[in-house]
Amino acid sequence: MISTLDYEPQGDRDSEASTFSASLHRGGAWFLTRLLASVAFLSITAIPDVFVHAQAQLDPTILGKPPVDAWPTYHGDYSGRHYSPLNQINQSNVKNLALSWTYRANTNTQGAISGGAIPEAVAYRLGPGALAGGLLKATPLAVNGVLYMSAPDHAWAIDAYSGREIWHFFWRTKGGDHIGNRGLGMYGNWLYLETPDGYVVSLDAATGKERWHKQIVDVRSEYFTTVAPVVIRNHVILGMGGDALDVPGWLESRDPDTGEVQWKWYTTPRPGEPGADTWPDTYAMEHGGGMPWTPVTYDPELNLIYVPTGNPNPVYRGDARKGSNLYTASIVALNADTGKMAWYFQSSPHDTHDWDATQVPVLFDAPFNGQPRKLLVQASRNGIFFVLDRVTGQNLLSVPYIESANWFKGFDDKGQPIPNPDKEASLGGALVSPNNGGGQNWTPPTFDPETGLIYLNASQGYEIHYKWDVDGATFGSAGHAARAVGGISTSLRAIDYRTGKAKWTHTYPGTEWNPPRPELLGGLLSTAGRLVFAGAPGNYIVAYDPATGRQLWHAGFTAPMSNTAITYMLNGRQQLVVAAGDTLYAFALQP
């Protein structure tokens, strides 16, 4: 079923949600004030002492369960499904969702709790705490009536009942790439934040005060650190990014009490290790990138971490690193206690288009070809949908999920794509799809176990890749240029994990000539209320029927939806919280 997205109110959707959407798009600060006043009872009745709630610790047993009364880790739980078993908000009443409160990110460093042992003479700032592009990309944590939110150099605790700020932490940065921050990790009453200049900082969740900080990478080597830490028992799992210089990449585990390194796993092999023969020489191998710059997923029963790794370096010049370049652009299973590799699957062998395989490895148990399986699925940036057995890494399905993907010649006996050399950058240019943004990117999809469908925003477009000779060594992106030359569309797709084919598709009007990168629409959330929440062009969040794609509710903002919506129960009422631009919005059903 193919349909286009229509935002005009229809039938009973002509409600407060529609009024709210239109008013925000008129820049209605006055209206928003009046609206907040009119729904103030939602946030002022039975508000507990926020500092009492802030003292409460995270119960670690909830991390491995579907999120109900909390959203305690980046994906809600360890599976990466971004699915909630809550159904108080459902198809019959979603039209009654109304705004409860808003919180605009406070980046004023006056009065903020300041951290970091960095001398002021050395430190430099990108303004008073740069908020990347004015966007809150992080997925907030919701624990015991408090929301914990982050942005580059900043962390906040916010009262989930009223939207009032409890505390604000500011990191005195050395600089680094302020491209964004994906969120916090939590262990007991402690929070963990990665900073743009390569540190991990531990905070007291009750007060926001720093406990300790440790360096992960040296910012002078042009690494950047944006990952939301994932806490697995007594392990804080951290990663990093960086393409500008050809540097090593790794995933590491740190002690939550002391911050000391427990183990490191390098994303490329060392000399003599398995996979070393997929690189031309030791230097290329040890400086080959593969940065793990998005949060991992985890199977507690198998005790395996599933690591999606980034592109190899130099980014586009495959002639400088002949071979498949393991373990870049791969999904790798590691033992959570030792960091030892159990298996790998390479999503893009010898990647030459900057297609990180850092999209979420989604975990669930379901039948496949008539057999019960522990599955892992990934809609990779390169336009291919993969289904793996997560116990062994065996490939069960490889199929394009966008029609325009043209960079590969087929699949090998492992189910891995076979790159077409004619699609590598050349002097005359090579026409390639997907474009640099990919068919998918880092923002999470969602899996609904009731429908058996994976929901994601996908983009189709073309790009011409050029290369030329450069003096000296080839590194980073040197000797390469790319130009987008045409778009097809961006669409919301509901993909059957058994086939990799879309059951239904919503193509967004106006995206034909300039399809937005999928991550610019935010991530997705599905619930047992038979709802899928997704961002859409025009600064909207929309609720869909997961079986048909029918639109059931929408709200508009003054900026694009910029993170992944979360949902949880608070005092017996289901909440929906989402960020757009520099503001958090909380919704609940009208009484």
Contact call for residues 530 and 552 (beta carbons, < 8 A): no
Which is it for strands 525-527 and 531-536: parallel, antiparallel or unpaired? antiparallel
Active-site entry in 243, 354, 356, 582: 354
Which residues pair with residue 462 across a beta bridge?
A: 486
The span from the CA of 399 to the CA of 411, in Å, is: 9
Chain-centroid distance of CA 237 in Å reads: 15
Q: Is 290 exposed, middle or buried (0-12, 13-18, 19+ CB in 10 A)?
A: buried
Which residues pair with residue 490 across a beta bridge?
A: 459
The span from the CA of 399 to the CA of 188, in Å, is: 42
Q: Is 369 exposed, middle or buried (0-12, 13-18, 19+ CB in 10 A)?
A: exposed
Cα–Cα nearest to 562, from 154, 22, 180, 177: 180
Has 69 been annotated as catalytic?
Answer: no
**Could you tell me the two tokens for 48?**
């507990």
Region of 220 please: left (phi>0), alpha (psi -120 to 50) or beta.
alpha
**Could you tell me the two tokens for 312?**
């190899």
Tokens 């794609």 belong to residue:
549
- 217 phi/psi in degrees, rounded to 5: -140, 165
The span from the CA of 512 to the CA of 156, in Å, is: 39
The span from the CA of 242 to the CA of 176, in Å, is: 10
- 32 phi/psi in degrees, rounded to 5: -60, -40
**Could you tell me the two tokens for 526?**
């599905």
In this structure, what DSSP letter does residue 182 have?
-
> C-alpha distances in angstroms, 143 versus 57, 203, 306, 567?
8, 15, 25, 12
Catalytically active residues are 354
